[in-house]
Amino acid sequence: MKTGAVDIDFLGHAGFVVRYKNKVFVIDPYHVSEAVPKADIILITHSHSDHCSIKDIQKLSRKGTMVLCPVDCQSTLMKVKGVDVNIVEKDEVLDFGNFKIECLPAYTSNPRHSQNEGWLGYLLKFDKTIIYFAGDTDNIPEIKRLSGYGKKGNHFVAVLPVAGDVVMNAITAADTASLLNPSLAIPMSYGAGLYGTVEDARKFVELCKQRNVNAQVLEKI
């Protein structure tokens, strides 16, 4: 779907593809279809196999594809041939000229997703279009600093987990969306047979509407 200056499509679970001008960005691909194009940049949030999938990363890579990931993915990604692996950390900003990628912390109070792991979310900045991919996180204090993006004339998109268990559930995600006040909120982390269902995504959209936040469930490609 077209949103602001980019096209964004849902790949299933926590995976998305973003197209901006002649660049293709893929986030956390997992069991992706043949319709997904080769990526210029692949962003991995953490080392769990449903986010850092060797098979899918290899499938979407070509010679020179850049992969951004936290340090705990490094040993796994050494098995992927032909990619340019770059280890990144929270608060790091990568400036590519006509777009920027900011690395943000992603964690929960659950020991399986603790702050000490150094896992990430990403903020993609394209002109006045800004997309926040939250990663596996809860409504952590660091998210509050993003609330200004929805108030500065930007087209701000927030992509939030809704599965519950160790990440936000639909209610917490809707509260987070209300805090961020995005132009569009999109649910993720559901529908892969792991945790989270399409009902969680639909509940999130309905709760966002009750909070006067525009939200939409994207169809998987």
**Domains of the chain, residue spans:** 2-210
> 3-state class of 115 per DSSP?
helix
Q: Which helix (H) or strand (E) holds 210?
A: helix 198-210
Is 156 in contact with 182 (CB distance < 8 Å)?
yes
The pLDDT tens digits for 85-123 are: 999 999 999 999 999 999 999 999 887 777 888 899 999
| Residues forming beta bridges with residue 215, ordered by sequence position | 185
- CA dist., res. 78 & res. 102, Å (int): 23
Angle at which helices 198-210 and 170-180 pack, to 10 degrees? 40
pTM: 0.96
The pLDDT tens digits for 114-139 are: 788 889 999 999 988 999 999 999 99
- pLDDT band of 81, cuts 50, 70, 90: confident
- CA dist., res. 166 & res. 73, Å (int): 20
- CA dist., res. 102 & res. 130, Å (int): 11
Is 115 in contact with 105 (CB distance < 8 Å)?
yes
Share of the chain above pLDDT 70, in %: 100
DSSP symbol at 150: G
The pLDDT tens digits for 149-179 are: 987 788 999 999 999 888 999 999 999 999 9
Beta strands in the chain (DSSP E): 2-3, 6-12, 15-20, 23-27, 41-43, 66-69, 84-87, 93-95, 100-105, 120-126, 129-133, 155-161, 184-188
Phi, psi dihedral angles at 197 (to 5 degrees): -125, 170
DSSP symbol at 37: P
> 3-state class of 155 per DSSP?
strand
Architecture of domain 2-210: 4-Layer Sandwich (3.60)
Phi, psi dihedral angles at 218 (to 5 degrees): -90, 140
Largest CA-CA distance found in the chain, in angstroms, rounded: 47
182 Cα distance to chain centroid: 15
Torsion sign across C-alpha atoms 187, 80, 125, 32: negative
